[in-house]
């Protein structure tokens, strides 16, 4: 006879009862553990996720009232609110049975038990436990979906040869579970590529979770990505799954992976190799099933040579590599994108703007777009909001960095960190410390700019 799925823990101070129950249940369920001392319940639950706990109501200290049983029921539910506890006692009565259910027990069994009835009760308990866990997982995934569903992002457009190559690669790779590394400057649409890969994959009906690694501090990295259990650290008031768990069965997109320190790279590599995560505060690993997509604007191969990025991690994340061209290298796509954003924002702000004048389009195509498509999108939105024209003219646009098209930043070094610091400092001075304007021109989020400012002491 094939055993039913289910891990059972029996807690009773009578060793004869423990022996009889183990003999009965071990042929029915995949794992049966017994324990005579209830004080060991917390450590047992820390080592194993039990589907059903058979709990004696009366231990030697108090043989009739059941107070010890109720105390341990409360403790079990604090450790695991989804636990399925079935009381078992020789001193059962209706009053205690009703109280047991009210306080969180699933069922109540009298000694001596009927074997078939007990097995049926435990089987129902195992099914209830699995249902609770599935509902909990669905709730977590739903929250993850709600968090991302309203994030605005434009359609992924382009007629240029460079973009057609990108679309062709996406079409070939999407149906597989191959890890993809997307390279490109900020604002080129790396997340849109990741979403396109997900939406055209076999995982499209499951979650797509995006994580900006540049916005996660080193101290929060493990908690955010791998999760934690209640009490793992001072503010850990509840169990919380990490992004890997939430994304399981779906796609996990790790943006700005080039910003990770070597220490965090090592921790990430371990998870990717083992295909399992361990929440902070526990030693129980959880298997994960994700499709991994990463992105960065950093020169990762140069970083490997400089020993700033692990070569083994690079091999792990870039089974397929997609390079996105900057907007200045696909200027033929600018009219298409500009008109797309015009239609989008004219509808959003209820403006009767029909077109962009040819001279204005030429001006847009001659601009160097340091913030790439993201900057073009912000420019079109701002222009739509401020103009009163039905056709956009040259003077409707405010291209803040146009006068610096051919300007070169003077550099004393070619060290990438020094170059980045110099550019950020220059842009901050240009905008007189206005973080929003500086971030926009740099093609960064405000959070990412703040992080870099803190890093360089600006």
Kindly report the CATH number assigned to the domain that includes residue 211: 3.40.50.300
Q: For residue 139, tell me if it sits in a domain.
A: no
What is the three-class DSSP state of 268?
helix
Boundary of a domain, candidates 266, 300, 323:
323
Domain ranges, residue 414: 328-456
Cα 19 to Cα 431: distance, rounded to the nearest angstrom: 77
Per-residue confidence (pLDDT) for residue 409, from 0 to 100: 56
Both 85 and 167 in a single domain?
A: no
Per-residue confidence (pLDDT) for residue 413, from 0 to 100: 67
- pLDDT per residue, tens digit, the chain (458 aa), is 567 788 999 999 888 999 999 999 998 898 999 999 999 999 999 888 899 999 988 776 545 566 788 888 999 998 888 899 998 877 656 667 677 788 888 888 888 889 999 999 999 999 888 888 877 777 666 655 555 444 433 457 888 999 999 999 999 999 999 999 999 999 999 999 999 999 899 999 899 999 999 888 888 899 999 988 888 787 777 888 899 999 999 999 999 999 999 999 999 999 999 999 999 888 889 999 999 999 999 999 999 999 999 999 999 999 999 999 999 999 999 999 999 999 999 999 999 999 999 999 999 999 999 999 999 999 999 999 999 999 999 989 988 654 444 445 566 666 777 788 888 888 888 777 778 788 888 888 878 888 888 887 77
* Beta carbons of 325 and 361 less than 8 angstroms apart: no
CA distances from 253 to 20, 195, 293, 358 (A): 51, 9, 5, 39
Q: For residue 140, tell me if it sits in a domain.
A: no
Both 57 and 199 in a single domain?
A: no
Both 277 and 183 in a single domain?
A: yes
What is the three-class DSSP state of 212?
strand
Q: Which of 38, 69, 46, 48 is nearest to 6 (CA)?
A: 48
Q: For residue 276, tell me if it sits in a domain.
A: yes
Q: Where are the beta strands (DSSP E) in 266-405?
A: 276-278, 285-287, 291-296, 320-323, 355-356, 391-392
Question: Before 98, cis peptide (omega within 30)?
Answer: no
Cα 128 to Cα 82: distance, rounded to the nearest angstrom: 9
223-230 contacts, C-beta under 8 A, 24 or more apart: 223/280, 225/268, 225/271, 225/277, 226/271, 226/277, 226/278, 226/279, 226/280, 227/277, 227/279, 227/280, 228/279, 228/280, 228/281, 229/279, 229/280, 229/281, 229/282, 230/281
Boundary of a domain, candidates 276, 304, 323:
323
Per-residue confidence (pLDDT) for residue 449, from 0 to 100: 84
Kindly report the CATH number assigned to the domain that includes residue 368: 1.10.8.60
Both 173 and 293 in a single domain?
A: yes
Per-residue confidence (pLDDT) for residue 41, from 0 to 100: 93
Both 301 and 278 in a single domain?
A: yes
Per-residue confidence (pLDDT) for residue 112, from 0 to 100: 85
Per-residue confidence (pLDDT) for residue 438, from 0 to 100: 84
Cα 246 to Cα 138: distance, rounded to the nearest angstrom: 9
CA distances from 392 to 327, 328, 344, 360, 385 (A): 21, 21, 15, 7, 11
Both 36 and 108 in a single domain?
A: yes
Per-residue confidence (pLDDT) for residue 1, from 0 to 100: 56
Per-residue confidence (pLDDT) for residue 400, from 0 to 100: 61
Q: For residue 145, tell me if it sits in a domain.
A: no
Both 218 and 332 in a single domain?
A: no
Both 300 and 286 in a single domain?
A: yes
Q: For residue 148, tell me if it sits in a domain.
A: no
Q: For residue 156, tell me if it sits in a domain.
A: no
Q: For residue 149, tell me if it sits in a domain.
A: no
Per-residue confidence (pLDDT) for residue 154, from 0 to 100: 42
Q: Where are the beta strands (DSSP E) in 186-287?
A: 208-212, 227-228, 240-241, 251-255, 276-278, 285-287
Q: Domains in the chain: how many in total?
A: 3
Both 189 and 76 in a single domain?
A: no
What number of other Cβ atoms are within 10 A of residue 160's Cβ?
A: 17
Per-residue confidence (pLDDT) for residue 309, from 0 to 100: 96
Q: For residue 115, tell me if it sits in a domain.
A: yes
């Amino acid at each position: 006879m094939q055993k039913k799925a289910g891990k059972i823990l029996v807690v009773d101070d009578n060793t004869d009862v423990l022996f009889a129950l183990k003999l009965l249940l071990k042929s029915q369920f995949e794992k049966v553990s017994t324990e005579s001392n209830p004080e060991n319940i917390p450590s047992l639950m820390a080592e194993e996720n039990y589907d059903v706990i058979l709990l004696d109501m009366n231990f030697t200290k108090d043989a009739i009232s059941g107070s010890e049983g109720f105390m341990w029921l409360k403790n079990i539910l604090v450790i695991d609110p989804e636990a399925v506890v079935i009381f078992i006692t020789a001193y059962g009565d209706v009053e205690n049975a009703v109280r047991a259910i009210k306080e969180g027990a699933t069922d109540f069994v009298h000694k001596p038990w009927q074997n078939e009835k007990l097995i049926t009760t435990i089987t129902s308990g195992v099914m209830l436990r699995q249902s609770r866990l599935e509902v909990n997982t669905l709730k977590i995934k739903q929250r993850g979906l709600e968090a991302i569903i309203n994030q605005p992002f434009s359609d992924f457009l382009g007629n240029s040869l460079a973009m057609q190559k990108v679309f062709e690669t996406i079409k070939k790779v999407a149906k597989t579970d191959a890890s993809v590394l997307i390279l490109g400057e900020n604002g080129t649409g790396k997340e849109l590529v990741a979403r396109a890969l997900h939406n055209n994959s076999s995982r499209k009906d499951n979650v797509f979770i995006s994580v900006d690694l540049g916005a996660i501090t080193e101290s929060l990295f493990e908690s955010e990505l791998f999760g934690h259990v209640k009490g793992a650290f001072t503010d850990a008031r509840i169990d919380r799954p990490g992004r890997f768990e939430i994304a399981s069965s779906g796609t996990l997109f790790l943006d700005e992976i080039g910003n990770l320190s070597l220490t965090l790279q090592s921790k990430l590599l371990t998870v990717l190799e083992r295909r399992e995560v361990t929440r902070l505060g526990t030693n129980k690993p959880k298997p994960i099933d994700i499709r991994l997509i990463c992105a960065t604007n950093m020169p990762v191969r140069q970083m490997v040579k400089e020993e700033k990025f692990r070569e083994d991690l690079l091999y792990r994340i870039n089974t397929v590599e997609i390079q996105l061209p900057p907007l200045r290298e696909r200027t033929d796509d600018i009219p298409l994108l500009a008109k797309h954003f015009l239609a989008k924002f004219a509808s959003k702000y209820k403006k009767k703007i029909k077109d962009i004048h040819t001279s204005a389009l030429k001006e847009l195509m001659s601009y160097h777009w340091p913030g790439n498509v993201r900057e073009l999108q912000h420019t079109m939105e701002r222009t739509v909001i401020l103009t009163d024209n039905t056709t956009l003219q040259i003077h409707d646009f405010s291209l803040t960095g146009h006068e610096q098209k051919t300007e070169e930043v003077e550099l004393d070094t070619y060290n990438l960190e020094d170059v980045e610091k110099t550019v950020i400092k220059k842009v901050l001075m240009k905008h007189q410390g206005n973080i929003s304007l500086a971030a926009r021109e740099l093609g960064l989020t405000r959070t990412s700019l703040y992080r870099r400012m803190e890093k360089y002491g600006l």
